[in-house]
């Protein structure tokens, strides 16, 4: 009887030790799980992705949105892609020797932990380069954003008007819906180009109005893409293939930051357009670019 009692006591102690070890192991496992970071994709969210409509002739379009990092670890937006463009670059606006310069982000756009980063006109943004077709108001442009930790996040950009300043606001209401009033779409023959100088930018639309003439509309912006009111503006059209020299005319102001002018353009094809912008007394900016005139 004594032998049986001793054997049973040893078994009991072995079982108790085994249970204690299993309990300790379970605690270690639970502790390890509790300190593991959240799964990739749980921390980063992308909100209010939007873009602007682009008239015919535009080869680029901007992309804007807000990235929120709800985690405790830094992440980076390292690349982007879209079926709507040949390539997509992440651009930043920096100041170099007192001049605003736009350039691709080197090493990725940092998203600090517990913070949000907004890409907006005049600041950091995406640039759709070599767009397949013009972006149209009301359209939805698909894109993929690649983050260093989170990986790929699919995003849809809602396209607003040509002059949109932010994402569309959708307000729920019980009232009857009122159709939105939008700007008329550009003519298929219109040519649009975005000119970017060191201190200002210009959105230029060239529209054939009759045989041998075009109407040129200009919208001026400062480096922050805010409306710019200049004192005067001249437009010069030239074509090296033509026997006549360049033609220059003073534009007429039609709004605080908008100008219009009519110029002769005898033949369709590639031309050179130059703007002479008098921002203030003794302050003139000249920018030029090639354009395409269709008839």
Residue after which a domain boundary falls, among 160, 176, 202: 160
Domain that holds residue 154: 44-160
pLDDT of residue 38: 34
Query: H or E stretch including 10?
Result: helix 2-35
pLDDT of residue 162: 75
Query: Can you tell me whether residue 149 is helix, strand or coil?
Result: coil
CA-based angle 187:193:199, to the nearest 5? Answer: 145
Residue 110 sits in a domain whose CATH number is: 2.60.40.1890
Bridge partners of 69, per DSSP, are 44
pLDDT of residue 37: 36
In a domain, residue 7? The reply is: no
Q: DSSP code of 105?
A: P
Same-domain check for residues 75 and 127: yes
For the chain, counts of helices (H) and of strands (E): 1, 19
pTM here is 0.53
Structure tokens at 249: 């005319």
Same-domain check for residues 57 and 110: yes
Same-domain check for residues 199 and 262: yes
Phi-psi map region of 185: left, alpha, beta (phi>0 left; psi -120 to 50 alpha): beta
Same-domain check for residues 106 and 207: no
Strands 252-253 and 140-147: unpaired
In a domain, residue 273? The reply is: yes
pLDDT of residue 198: 66
Same-domain check for residues 51 and 156: yes
Give the Å distances, CA to CA, from 109 to 78, 145, 147.
6, 11, 9
Residues (pLDDT < 70) of the chain are 1-41, 57, 94-102, 163, 168-189, 197-198, 224-225, 295
């Amino acid at each position: 009887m004594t032998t049986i009692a001793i054997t049973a006591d040893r078994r009991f102690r072995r079982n108790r030790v085994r249970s204690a070890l299993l309990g300790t192991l379970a605690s270690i496992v639970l502790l390890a799980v509790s300190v593991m970071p959240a799964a990739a994709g749980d921390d980063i969210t992308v909100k209010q992705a939007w873009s602007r409509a682009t008239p015919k002739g535009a080869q680029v379009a901007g992309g804007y949105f807000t990235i929120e990092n709800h985690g405790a670890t830094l992440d980076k937006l390292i690349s982007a892609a879209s079926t709507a463009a040949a390539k997509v670059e992440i651009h930043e606006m920096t100041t170099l020797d007192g001049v605003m310069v736009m350039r691709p982000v080197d090493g990725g756009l940092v998203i600090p932990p517990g913070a949000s980063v907004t890409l907006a006109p005049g600041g950091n943004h995406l640039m759709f380069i070599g767009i397949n077709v013009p972006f149209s108001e009301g359209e939805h442009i698909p894109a993929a954003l690649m983050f260093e930790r989170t990986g790929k996040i699919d995003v849809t950009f809602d396209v607003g008007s040509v002059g949109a300043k932010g994402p569309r606001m959708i307000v729920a209401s019980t009232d009857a819906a009122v159709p939105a009033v939008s700007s008329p779409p550009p003519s298929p023959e219109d040519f649009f180009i975005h000119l970017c100088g060191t201190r200002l930018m210009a959105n230029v639309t060239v529209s054939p109005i009759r045989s041998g003439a075009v109407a040129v509309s200009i919208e001026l912006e400062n480096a922050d893409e805010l409306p710019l009111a200049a004192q005067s503006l001249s437009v010069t059209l030239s074509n090296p293939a033509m026997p006549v020299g360049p033609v220059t005319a003073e534009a007429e102001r039609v709004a605080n930051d908008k100008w219009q002018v009519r110029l002769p353009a005898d033949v369709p094809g590639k031309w050179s357009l130059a703007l002479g912008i008098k921002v203030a007394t003794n302050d003139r900016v000249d920018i030029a670019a090639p354009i395409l005139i269709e008839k």
